[in-house]
Amino acid sequence: MNAVLVDNIVKTYDKGKILALNKVSFEVKQGELFGLIGADGAGKTTMFRILTTLLIPNSGRAEVLGLDVVKGIWEIRKMVGYMPGKFSLYQDLSITENLRFFATVFNTTFEKNQHLIEDIYVQLAPFKDRLAGKLSGGMKQKLALCCALIHEPKILFLDEPTTGVDPVSRKEFWDMLDRLKARGITIVVSTPYMDEAERCDRIALIQKGNILDIDTLQGILSKHKKTLFAVRSEQMFRLLNNLRQFELTESCFIFGEFLHLSLKNGEADVAATKAFLIANNHQNLVFKPVLPNIEDAFIELMEDNHHAK
Amino acid sequence: MQNNNIVIETHELTRRFGDFTAVDAITFKVSAGEIFGFLGANGAGKTTAMRILCGLLSPTSGKARVAGYDVYTESELIKKQIGYMSQKFSLYENLTVKENIQFFGGIYGIERRELKEKTAELIDRLGLHNESNKLVGSLPLGWKQKISFSTAILHRPQIVFLDEPTGGVDPITRRQFWDMIYETADSGITIFVTTHYMDEAEYCNRVSIMVDGAIAALDTPAGLKNTFNTNSMDGVFLQLARGAKRSE
């Protein structure tokens, strides 16, 4: 049995005017750390609300732990932990009060299940009487994760837990997820940060309600068809403009310290491109092949998807 | 970098709140037309420093001049020479695109006739003819970011402060936004930007990294990677910010 099964789910808002999810299908295996990766408006939150039984799809079928999300509402709710994208704990309750509250709602106690959250809770314990509303972003995020874990869920749904958090706290958060995964909990997590794909077993890339691809990160990268070149020179903005206007350029985007360039005829155009850049007086030119990263792959899939329509 | 005119200059700039030193004796310079990345973990003191530089908060000690004006005595003059954009507060969702542009243009002191021309020009440049009378709240996030940025530089400020401008958009939209930043810097406006995306740090001419209120490192991205012996800005950031004693 899969932990999550999503089959042809459609969800619209505003009497059908807004198509939030367009025939989305995927499966999550037991014990898997599965990432739903996409920008604002991709449909990630809608998907989470359907899987946590908070929203009913227009059509299609979804199951969580073998239970139908429409018929099995009450059983599913006991078995899932959900961390919404918007901070949803009680700001005027303290850390321990929030934990006790969520434990009680699920017919258990903080004391009985404290061991489940021990390694995260130790970081919160020095502030246990502080009101949730007074905590920093990173601490709120840890408390929200503890509250989602306190009833010993079999599966966790985390909606953009790392948005707006600095890179150090983000990394710590993913380390916590690794430890939870090691205990066998299935985790479905969404993020707009593409670099977090490497922390997931498998990912679904989602854009405007459509799944662009589902695979391991390596699987997605290996499907990237175009040969890519990393290019830089002293004047990056002029380089970008020159390359965008160059007749042999297929696409050119800034990527960190380099531009990522794909050429219409790949390798065959390299000599002509270099000559063009030298003729345009670019100093300290670097021009080398580069392996695509997740954002290259996402951009290519977005463009393919756009052209297919 | 277009020339060596200094548009931001601080000397041991410090701000305390009670016995907490939010900004601890920071000293740096930013040149006209430079893209300057202002990085740090949550709680490192970036927002406080930025508020001082925007003329919104007085320092406790130290010196700072922004656009040629003193932060202690000429903060009102500073405000006229800068633009500000943040993801958290940018545009009024319940005003139309046109109304937002005119509102912010008015606040920045652009005269009515000029504002009318600039509004039309901006709508033209962004290709928003069909959307100009739509409520901003109904537009995709990427468009809001572009309109918000364009509005912040409508009055041709010397410096524009961007506080985490690009969260949550797809990789193409994020790059289109940086295309606009490059273009703006190329026209001579200084860009002062905070971000949590480390690849965006690479797009800056120079980057400073704040740790516990102080500037722990300041150099070109290539210089920082060299100093910290790593091949990515992520590596630099992790090394520096891991040593932080305080969090937000």
Is B247 close to A38, i.e. CB distance below 8 A?
Answer: no
CA atoms within 13 A on the CB side of A172: 17
Q: Which chain B residues contact residue A207 at CB under 8 A?
A: 170
- Asked if B238 and A255 come within 8 Å (Cβ–Cβ), the reply is no
Separation in Å, CA of A205 to nearest CA in chain B: 11
Q: How far does the CA of residue B154 sit from the closest CA of chain A (Å)?
A: 21
**DSSP code per residue over B154-177:** TT--SEEEEESTTTT--HHHHHHH
Contact list, B189 vs chain A (CB under 8 Å):
none
**Which residues of chain A are in CATH 3.30.70 domains?**
228-291
Residue pLDDT, tens place only, A131-141 = 999 988 788 88
Q: Where in chain A is the domain with CATH 3.40.50.300?
A: 4-222
In terms of pLDDT, which residue wins out, B242 or A39?
A39
ipTM associated with this complex: 0.82
Which of the residues A130, A234, A236, A254 would you substitute to probe the B interface, choosing the one with the greatest number of B C-beta atoms within 10 Å?
A: A254
d(C-alpha B120, C-alpha B138), whole Å: 20
Q: How far is B83 from chain A (nearest CA, A)?
A: 22
Query: How much is the pLDDT for B2?
Result: 40
Residue A90 token pair = 């009680």
User: A120 vs A68, which has greater pLDDT?
Assistant: A68
Cα–Cα distance between B21 and B42 in angstroms, integer? 15
- B187 touches A: beta carbon within 8 Å: no
Q: How many helices (H) and strands (E) does chain B have?
A: 9, 10
Report the pLDDT value the prediction gives residue A309, as an integer from 0 to 100. Answer: 60
Q: Using the CB atoms, write b or e for A223-251: b if 16+ within 10 Å.
A: ebebbbbbbbbebbbebbbbbeebebbeb
CATH 3.40.50.300 given to domain A4-222: yes
Q: Give per-residue pLDDT as tens, A74-105.
A: 999 999 999 998 888 999 999 999 999 999 99
Cβ–Cβ gap B141/A39 under 8 Å: yes
Which of chain A's residues have a Cβ under 8 Å away from the Cβ of B140?
Answer: 40-41
d(CA B48, CA A302): 39
Nearest residue to A158 (alpha-carbon basis) of A50, A99, A85, A91:
A85
Residue A169 and residue B179: Cβ atoms within 8 Å? no
Task: Nearest by CB to B182, from A192, A195, A240: name it.
Answer: A240
Vertex A112, ends A106 and A117: CA angle to 5°? 85
Average pLDDT of A105-133? 93
User: What is d(CA A272, CA B34) in angstroms, rounded to the nearest whole number?
Assistant: 32
Distances (CA, A) of A63 to A6, A9, A70: 7, 11, 9
**A256 neighbourhood in chain B, CB within 8 Å:** 199, 202-203, 232-233
The domains of chain B, with CATH numbers, are: 6-91+158-242 (3.40.50.300)
Distance from CA of B166 to the nearest CA of A (A): 10
- Nearest Cα neighbor of A99 from A109, A107, A88, A91 is A109
Binary contact (A41, B140; C-beta < 8 A): yes
Percentage above 90 pLDDT, chain A: 82
* Longest Cα separation, chain B: 55
Task: Tell whether the torsion through CA atoms of B208, B209, B211 and B217 is positive or negative.
Answer: negative
A169 vs A297, higher pLDDT: A297
CB-based contact A168 B43, cutoff 8 Å: no
Q: What is the pLDDT of residue A226?
A: 84
CA B190, B196, B199, B202 torsion-angle sign: positive
Closest-CA distance of chain B to residue A302, Å: 9
Nearest CA in chain A to B41: A166
The DSSP bridge pattern shows strands A286-290 and A258-263 to be unpaired
**B-chain residues near A41 (CB < 8 A):** 140-141
Model pLDDT, residue B3: 46
Asked if B202 has any chain A CB less than 8 Å from its own CB, the reply is yes
Q: Does any CB of chain A come closer than 8 Å to the CB of residue B205?
A: no
Tens place of pLDDT per residue across chain B (248 aa): 344 699 999 999 999 999 999 999 999 999 999 999 999 988 889 989 999 999 999 999 999 999 999 999 999 999 999 999 987 767 999 999 999 999 999 998 899 999 999 999 999 999 999 999 999 998 988 899 999 999 999 999 999 999 989 888 889 999 999 999 999 999 999 999 998 888 899 999 999 999 999 999 999 999 999 999 999 999 999 899 887 777 65
Min distance B149 CA to chain A CA atoms (Å):
18
Which residues in chain B touch residue A38, judged by CB atoms under 8 angstroms apart?
170
Whether A234 and chain B come into contact, CB under 8 Å, resolves to no
Size of the A and B interface in Cβ pairs below 8 Å: 94
What mean pLDDT is predicted for residues A62-79? 96
**What are the φ/ψ torsions at residue A190 (nearest 5 degrees)?**
-110, 155
State whether residue A59 sits within 8 Å of chain B by CB: no
For chain A, say whether B179 makes contact (Cβ under 8 Å): yes
Q: Residue B163: which of B66, B40, B28, B71 has the closest Cα?
A: B40
**Looking at beta carbons, which residues of chain A come within 8 Å of B184?**
none
> Is the Cβ pair A237, B183 closer than 8 Å?
yes
- What does pTM read for this prediction? 0.88
A139–B244 C-beta distance less than 8 A: no
Residue B178 with chain A: CB contacts under 8 Å: 254
| DSSP β-ladder status, A202-207 and A210-215 | antiparallel
The CATH architecture of the domain made up of A228-291 is: 2-Layer Sandwich (3.30)
Q: pLDDT for A242-291, tens place per residue?
A: 999 999 999 999 988 899 999 999 999 999 999 999 999 999 999 999 99
Q: CA B151 → CA A9, A119, B180, distances in Å?
A: 40, 46, 12
Phi, psi (rounded to 5 degrees) for A211: -80, 125
